[in-house]
């Protein structure tokens, strides 16, 4: 069964989780910098191996922190990109070939009737259908669904 801790993490509000995550990353950067400075200056130690160990640990800490920040950035960008996806409806007038593109509305379907043609004069017959454009395509704006896994 999924652990209680994981469930709590999933359910906790993002507003608290994100600052906490960045607070931890900040601490990690701070400790890494301290280790790096101590390793470079070699304060109070003549052992070069220890200095090297401090430098390596500091660098590893900094690299991994920046990698985690970059991953977070990519995740947010991906999320925003997905949310921006808009489905569009293309309408065409069969008389004057006027073409219009607008956001999809519930009830739209390909080869169904759309809005009235703004160019054609209103006829005397069945106005409910006569002047209305035909929906010729419905597609996703941006057009790409590819993702990295």
Partner 1 sequence: MQTLLFPGQGNTDIGYIINILYMAMFLVLVFWGEKIQTMIRLRDIEYALERLRLMRDESVKFTKEKLKKYGKEEINRFLDNYLEFVTIPPVDMDPAGVVWKLDHIVKTAEDRVRSEIRQIIPDLDENQVLNIMNLFEASYALNYYYKVVRHYYILSKKTSSYILIIQLQAILPQVMMEAEAYLGALQAFSSGQPIGDGAGALVAARLMRGGEIFDIERDNVYTVKNIQGRRVFFMKAKGPGGAVGTPGDALMKLSEKESFKMIFMVDAGLKLEGEKTGSIAEGVGAIIGGIGTEKYKIEEVATKKAIPLYGMIIKMSLKEAITPMTRDVLNGVEEAHQLLLKRIVEKSSEGDTVMVIGVGNTMGIAQ
Interface positions with partner 1 (CB under 8 A): 1-3, 6-7, 10, 47, 49-50, 53, 85, 87, 104, 106-112, 137-147, 149
- In angstroms, give the least distance from the CB of 2 to partner 1: 5
Please count the CA atoms within 13 angstroms of the CA of 12 that sit on its side-chain side. 13
DSSP 64: H
- In angstroms, give the least distance from the CB of 108 to partner 1: 7
Nearer residue to partner 1 within complex by CB, 27 or 53: 53
- In angstroms, give the least distance from the CB of 34 to partner 1: 17
Nearer residue to partner 1 within complex by CB, 9 or 34: 9
Q: How many CB atoms lie within 10 A of CB 4?
A: 8
Nearer residue to partner 1 within complex by CB, 29 or 104: 104
- In angstroms, give the least distance from the CB of 139 to partner 1: 5
Cα–Cα distance, 113 to 93 (Å, whole number)? 10
Cα–Cα distance, 88 to 32 (Å, whole number)? 50
- In angstroms, give the least distance from the CB of 30 to partner 1: 23
Classify residue 129 by burial, with Cβ atoms within 10 Å: 0-12, 13-18, 19+: exposed
Nearer residue to partner 1 within complex by CB, 23 or 109: 109
Please count the CA atoms within 13 angstroms of the CA of 63 that sit on its side-chain side. 6
Nearer residue to partner 1 within complex by CB, 34 or 118: 34
């Amino acid at each position: 069964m999924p652990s209680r801790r994981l469930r709590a993490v999933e359910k906790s509000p993002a507003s608290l989780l994100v600052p906490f995550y960045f607070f931890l990353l900040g601490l990690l950067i701070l400790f890494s910098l301290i280790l790096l400075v101590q390793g470079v200056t070699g304060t109070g130690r003549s052992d070069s191996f220890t200095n090297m160990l401090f430098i390596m640990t500091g660098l590893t800490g900094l690299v991994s922190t920046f990698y985690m920040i970059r991953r977070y950035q990519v995740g947010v960008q991906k999320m925003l990109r997905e949310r921006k996806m808009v489905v569009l409806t293309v309408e065409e007038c069969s008389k004057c070939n006027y073409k219009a593109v607008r956001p999809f509305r519930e009830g739209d379907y390909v080869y169904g009737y759309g809005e009235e043609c703004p160019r054609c004069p209103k006829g005397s017959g069945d106005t409910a259908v006569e002047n209305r454009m035909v929906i010729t395509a419905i597609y996703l704006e941006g057009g790409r669904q590819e993702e990295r896994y």
